[in-house]
Amino acid sequence: MIDALPPQGVPADQVLAELRGMRAADLPTHGGRLFAYVYDPARAGLDELAMSAYALSAHVNGLDPTAFPSLLATENALVAAAARVLGAGPGTDAPDVVGSVTSGGTESLILAVKTARDAHPEITAPRLVAPSTAHAAFAKAAHYLGVALDLVPVDPETFTPDPAAVAAAITADTVLVACSAPSYAQGVVDPVEQIAAIAAERGVRCHVDACFGGWALPFLRRVGVAVPAFDFGLPGVTSMSVDLHKYAYTPKGVSVLLHRDAGLRRPQYFAFADWPGYTMVNPVISSTRSGGPIAAAFATLRHVGDEGYLELARQTRDAVAGLAKAVSEVDGLRLLAPADFTVVCLTSDDPGLDLFVLADELAARGWHTQPQLPYQGIPASIHLTVTASVLPQVPQFGPALAESAAAARAHGPVELPAELLAMAAHLPPDQLTAEMVAGLADTFGLTGGEPGAAPRMAVVNAVLAAAPPRLRERLLVEFVSLLQRPSW
């Protein structure tokens, strides 16, 4: 075990060598073969620039915007850029837009819900309406903030909600209606125009979660992709979020939350003067905030520029088309949703071709995809978040997919022992113990394996797929808790 606090400090070179050694076991963040977690533009020099900018401002503290004007200036510049990309700012129908930089999509969504909730102190049991495809961060926001979540089911073919069903879900206690542009799982854009109009008619705020692909959509539109209206050009849209650490390709830790005007934003702030220290005034959840991620994002946007993002959108568009074609050429596989924007989501219609086994076979060949569990009539799928770096990999993907599918067929589908299947389907979540999960993790080789050796996950995914959502949650909480132990 590596000791983070050795008796004597370790030389800098050695510490970095140790870190490099540990990083070697991680999935590859560059190279266009990891289809989740990372966003890679594959632009020479961009990482180095972002890291230099990060280092310049790492110790700057956003706690007080008057103490470090560089942070305020760069944050305001990022907000203006995001607003412009999303149809707001001078010369638009949303000229008074304002915003804040947050640490990520989840924080932006928590703050959007908090702002909507606190705008209505008279509503004692506030509610949030969202399609069932909305990102899990809305559920987290609702949970943290004591807001009830009303999920509207989506059509199993289009993965979008019927606007009439959204309208029917709005009550006098609804403080916010949310929708996605695009959703994460299938990468589809909700009918934002209709939903925003309904929300406006009912006098309810409407948040468009453009965290995931919201930066890419406007550039994709400019390179010829048909993108429906989804931004501040729609009068009912009151707030939007867009993660710069996704398709703006900045280092992690940067999202922008925008409101149509300062009045709408006001309840976002938390201020407290009732103690003997400094008066706290925070626009976001953190109080002390490093300037590092903001400086890195500022440098990234300024260096890539509008033209650069157009080119990255072209590359992403072509990569998506190439991957989608490869999927359509493998017998038994099909696209679950149209690959219109930045996601390729595939499924299998062939019982002999188990998607979870396929994902393992792809991983064994160096292609790291994200299996998605079946949910409310939506079948299991494999998700690919596609970024610009994927384009040069496309010619190799088709053969790898065909070979992996053949190997998955030869392997055959996962067959769980009957007692495990029964446990997954029927065990009440509160009866699952840490010991049971430790036993399962051991059986499946998930703990204590060789670092870097990807465990076969198909059996685990099959168990999770057989379990209802509450048990899935419990299983994974116990598993993660098993991993999060101090390394003595």
Ligand X SMILES: Cc1ncc(COP(=O)(O)O)c(C=O)c1O
Interface with ligand X by CB under 6 A: which range of 104-112, 289-297, 317-325, 472-480?
A: 104-112
Q: Binding of ligand X at residue 243 (CB under 6 A)?
A: yes
Per DSSP, 30 falls in state S
Least separation in angstroms between CB 87 and ligand X: 18
Using CB under 6 A, pick the residue from 74, 106, 347, 389 that binds ligand X: 106
Q: Which residue number has the CB closest to ligand X? A: 105
The contact mask relative to ligand X for 194-213 (x = CB under 6 A, - = no) is: ---------------x-xx-
Residue among 79 and 254 whose Cβ is closer to ligand X: 254
CB of 385 to ligand X, least distance (A): 8
| Binding map of ligand X across residues 254-293, x = CB under 6 A, - = no contact | -x--------------------------------------
Does 160 participate in binding ligand X (rule CB under 6 A)?
no
Does position 114 interact with ligand X (CB under 6 A)? The reply is: no
Residue type, 70: S
Q: Considering the rule CB under 6 A, would residue 39 count as an interface residue with ligand X?
A: no
- Asked if residue 163 binds ligand X (CB under 6 A), the reply is no
101 token code pair: 């930089």
Are the C-beta atoms of 261 and 240 separated by less than 8 Å? Answer: no
| Pairwise CA distance, residues 141 & 57, whole Å | 30
Neighbours of 326 (CB within 10 A): 21
Q: In whole angstroms, give the CA distance from residue 298 to residue 418.
A: 55
Q: Is 218:189 a contact under the CB 8 Å cutoff?
A: no
Asked if 231 is part of the footprint of ligand X (rule: CB under 6 A), the reply reads no
Minimum gap (Å) between residue 45 Cβ and ligand X: 25
CB of 455 to ligand X, least distance (A): 23
The site that binds ligand X (CB under 6 A) totals a number of residues, namely 13
Using the rule CB under 6 A, is 249 a contact of ligand X?
Answer: no
Binding letters toward ligand X, positions 55-94, x by CB under 6 A: ----------------------------------------
- Name the segment binding ligand X (CB under 6 A); options: 69-77, 100-108, 123-131, 169-177: 100-108
**Could you check whether the bond before residue 182 is cis, i.e. omega within 30 degrees of 0?**
yes
Residue 225 vs 257, nearer CB to ligand X: 257
Give the bridge partners for 290, in sequence order.
Answer: 61
How far is it, in rounded angstroms, from Cα 190 to Cα 196?
10
Rg (CA), the chain: 23
Give the Å distances, CA to CA, from 66 to 61, 71, 262, 374.
10, 9, 19, 50
Report the alpha-carbon distance of residue 265 to residue 402 in Å, rounded.
Answer: 50
Pairing assessment for the beta strands 270-272 and 280-282 based on DSSP bridges? antiparallel
User: Which of the stretches 48-56, 103-111, 144-152, 258-266 binds ligand X when contact is defined by CB under 6 A?
Assistant: 103-111
Dist. CA 394–CA 120, nearest whole Å: 50
Instruction: Give the pair of three-digit tokens for residue 165.
Output: 């069903």
- Work out which of 32, 41, 105, 218 binds ligand X, going by CB under 6 A: 105
- The verdict on 348 binding ligand X (CB under 6 A) reads no
Closest distance between ligand X and the C-beta of residue 180, in Å?
5
Near ligand X in 116-145, by CB under 6 A = 135, 137
DSSP label at residue 375 = B
Closest among 256, 171, 233, 242 to 211, alpha carbons compared:
242
Residue partners of 438: CB distance under 8 A and separation at least 6:
447, 478, 482
List interacting residues with ligand X (CB under 6 A): 104-106, 109, 135, 137, 180, 184, 209, 211-212, 243, 255
